[in-house]
Structure 1
Amino acid sequence: MNDTPAPLSQPEVQGFAALAARLAENVNAVVLGKPEVVRLALTALFAQGHVLLEDVPGVGKTTLARAVAATVQGQWRRIQFTPDLLPSDVSGVTIFNQATRGFEFHPGPVFANIVIADEINRASPKTQSALLEVMEERQVSVEGARRPLPEPFIVAATQNPVEYEGTYPLPEAQLDRFLLKLTVPLPNRDEELGVLRAHHAGFDPRDLGAAGVRPVAGVADLAAAREAVGRVHVAEPVLGYIVDLCRATRTAPALELGASPRGATGLLSTAKAWAWLAGRDHVTPDDVKATARPTLRHRLRLRPEVELEGVGVDMVLDTVLATVPTPR
C-alpha cells in the first residue's frame, strides 16, 4: 500500500500561492513593517499549529493576532488572561437550569476557529493548564463529557517577557504545544517613521475594517490549503537534515534540554508550509533553516551558567545550523 500523498500540480501551486499573497497583503495592511513575522504567522495557520508571540508591550503582538484571525471567514474569540481568570472562564461551565430542571453546558471562548489568548502568561498555572487538552487534542472535557472544538482550531497567544512583573513562566509541556514562537521586534527607524506617518494620516490599528482587513479566505479554503501543504514533497536528504538538526540540539553543550521528536515533526510541518507560501511544491534545506529558530527556540532550555553569560537560545541554534552539514 502506497501512503505517499499525490504531488501538487502546477495550477494548484499557482492558485494557492495567489491565496497566500492575498492573506499576506491583508495582514500587512495593518501590521506595518513586519513582513517576515506575518509570513511566519501565516505559516502556523497553514501548518495547523498554534503560535506564541512574545516581546515587550507596544510592538503589535495583539494587532498581528487579530489581523490574522480577521482574514479568515470563521469565528474568532479573544481571551484577556489575568491572574484571577479561572479554567472554566476558558473552557466553559455546566450550569443547572431551573426552568428545565437539568444541567446545561455553556461553552467558553475556546469554542471558536481562532482563539487569541492575550498575555497568556499573566494567568495562574492552573488556568494555563486548561489549554493543554484544548491545544493538543482540540477538545474540552467538562463533567466527564468530551466536546470537540470546531475545525480549523488555532490558538494565537501573546505574552510579555517573563522578567515583567505579574507574569508566570509557561511550563515546558505547554510551550511544546505551540508550533512556532515568534518575537515581534522593535521597528528600525524607517519602519517606525512609517508607522508614525500612518497614524498621523488617521490609521487606527484597533479598527481592522477601516484599515482594509477583510476576510479573504473561508474555512473551506483553509482546509484545502492545509491539505495541499500536506502534499508538499520532502526529499529523503531533507528529512535526514531535520533529524540531524534536532539531534544536534540534544548534545549541544549549552543546552540541558534539546528538541524532542515533536519538535522534529513540527519543523517538518513548518518547512512544508513555508515552501508552500513561497509557491513551491517541494522543501529545500533553506526552508528548514528559515523556520528552525521559530520552531525550536521555545522547546530548548539553556544551562543556567550559560544563560548567566548572556548566551541566548537563538545563538545556540545559529551554531547548530552552522555545524550540521547541509544536504546538497
Structure 2
Amino acid sequence: MTDRDMDQTIDYYGDEEDISALAQLHTAVISALSPFIVGNQDLIELILIALLAEGHILIEGLPGTAKTTIAKAIAMVTGCEFARIQGAVDLQPADMIGVRIYDQQSCEFNLRKGPIFTNVLLADEMNRVHPKAQSAFIEAMSERQATIDGITLPVPRPFIVIATQNSFELEGTFPLIEAQRDRFMFSIGISPLSPDEELAVIKRASDGTLTWNRFAETLKPVTSPDALQAAIAQVSRVRMEDPIHRYIRDIVIATRNHPDIGLGASSRASISFVKGAKGAAALAGRAYVIPDDVKKIALSVLIHRLYLTREAEIEGVRPGDIIRDIMDRIEVP
C-alpha cells in the first residue's frame, strides 16, 4: 500500500457512514500475511477483531506453531510497536512494568519503562509466570495504564496483549488466576496444520522463504496506529439491536445454569460478546450486528471462562461441547 493509499485509509475511517474500509483492512492484512503465514486464518482474524474491539487474546498451543511470528507480523502489518515478555518463574512485576532508577550524577530518579508500554505485547508462556507477577498485567489490560512506584502512566494506544500458554506441559507452570483469565476477550487453541499446509511449510523452508529476515524485509504496513484508533472508535458505533442484546444475555445466563458447569461466565463475558460481535460485523463490512457475528465468537469468548463441576471433569466432559450444546439450544433472533 502506498503512502497515498495510507492517507486515504485514515480519511476513510473518519467517515462514520461507511464502514467498508474495515473490510478492506481485513483483506489487506490477510493478503499481506498470506505469503508468509501458513494456515491459522481463524487466529489472525480473531486477533484483528480483538485489536479493533480493544480486547486481548489467549492462545493455547504447542511450541513451534508460529504464535510469536503471527504476533510480530500483526504488529508490523498494522504499523504498531511490538514487545515480547518471555514467561519465567522468576519474572518480577518490575520486569514487565518498569522501574525508577536513581542517577547519581543528576541526583534524580529516572523512569525506565518496561515492555508493557507498547502496542502489541506478546506474553509468551504466561502460565510460567508466578501469580503475583501475573497480576501486574491486570491494570494494563483492564484500565490501559500501569503504575510504577506510585506513578500511573497510560500505555500506548491501540494496546493488545497476546498471551500464550502450553497446556500440554504442566511442570513448572501456574494456572492463570481466574481474574486474569477473565480479562481476555478471547481464547483460542491452535490446531495442527493440515497435510497440505504442512507441505507448504516444508516447501517454503526448502526454498529459503520461511525466515523472519525475509519476512521483515518485504512486509510493509497497510495501516497505522492512528488509523486503528479511528477504526476502533468506528467499531464502537456499530449498531446492535435489542434482539441481539437478549440473545447474548440468554447465552451467558445458560452457562450459569448448566448442570456440568460449576462456575459460569461473568458479566465481562457479556461485554466481550458485545465488543467482539461489533468487531466481527465491522470486518465483514457491516455497520450492524447479526446473530452470526455472535455465533462466530461464542466459543472463543466462553471457553476460558467456564469451570466444570468435578463430576463433569471425571466424566471427561469438554467445555467446547457444552458451549456448542448451549448455542444449539438458545433461540436465535
Please name the residue that 1:29 is paired with: 35
Match of 2:160 in 1: 154
The 1:75–1:211 alpha-carbon spacing in structure 2 relative to 1, beyond 3 Å, is: closer
Indicate yes or no: 2:143 matched with 1:137: yes
Residue pair 2:201, 2:210 contacting (<8 A) in 1 also = no
Q: 1:184 Cα deviation (Å)? A: 0.9
2:210 match = 204
1:315 equivalent to 2:328? Answer no
Q: 1:252 aligns with which of 247, 255, 258?
A: 258
Matched, 1:125 2:125: no
Separation of aligned partners in 1, 2:234 and 2:33: 22
Report whether the alignment pairs 1:292 with 2:298.
Answer: yes
Consecutive unaligned residues in structure 2, runs of 5 or more? 1-13
Q: Which moved more, 1:176-185 or 1:134-143?
A: 134-143
TM-score by length of 2: 0.91
Secondary structure at the aligned position of 2:304 is classed as helix
Q: Say which of 267, 273, 276 aligns to 1:270.
A: 276
3-state DSSP class of the match of 1:115? strand
Which amino acid is the alignment partner of residue 235 of structure 1? Answer: E
- Which position in structure 1 is the counterpart of 2:8? none
Distance 1:317 1:211, change over 3 A: farther
Q: 1:304 to 1:213 in 2, by over 3 A?
A: farther
- Structure 2 partner of 1:3: none
Select the residue among 65, 68, 71 that pairs with 2:77.
71
Taking a change above 3 Å as real, the CA distance of residues 320 and 267 of structure 1, as seen in their structure-2 partners, is same
How large is the RMSD of aligned CA atoms in angstroms?
Answer: 1.7
AA aligned to 1:247 is I
Identical columns (%): 40
Higher mean displacement: 285-294 or 74-83:
74-83
Which range is displaced more, 90-99 or 33-42? 33-42
User: Which residue of 1 is the match for residue 108 of structure 2?
Assistant: 102
- Quote the Cα distance in structure 2 between the aligned partners of 1:51 and 1:27: 19
5+ residue gaps in structure 1? 1-5
| Offset, 1:298 | 0.9
Q: Quote the residue 1:45 is aligned against.
A: 51
Q: In structure 2, how many angstroms separate the alpha carbons of the residues matched to 1:69 and 1:254? A: 39
Measure, in 1, the Cα distance between the counterparts of 2:124 and 2:179. 19
Residue 28 of structure 1, CA deviation: 3.1
Other structure's SS at 2:185 match: strand
Check 1:268–1:205 CA distance in 2 against 1; reply closer, same or farther (3 A cut): farther
Match of 2:312 among 306, 309, 320: 306
Give matches, 1:51-66, under 5 Å. Answer: 51-66=57-72
- Greater Cα shift, 118-127 or 90-99: 118-127
For the pair 1:237 / 2:240, whether they are aligned, the reply is no
**Length-normalised TM-score, structure 1:** 0.93
Query: 1:42-97: CA deviations, max 9, x gaps?
Result: 11111111111111222222222121122121221111111121111000011111
d(CA) in 2 for partners of 1:258, 1:319: 14
Q: Which residue of 2 aligns with 1:190?
A: 196
In the alignment, the residues of structure 2 paired with residue 189 and residue 111 of structure 1 have an alpha-carbon distance, to the nearest angstrom, of 39
- Larger CA deviation: 210-219 vs 253-262: 210-219
Q: CA deviation at 1:290?
A: 0.8
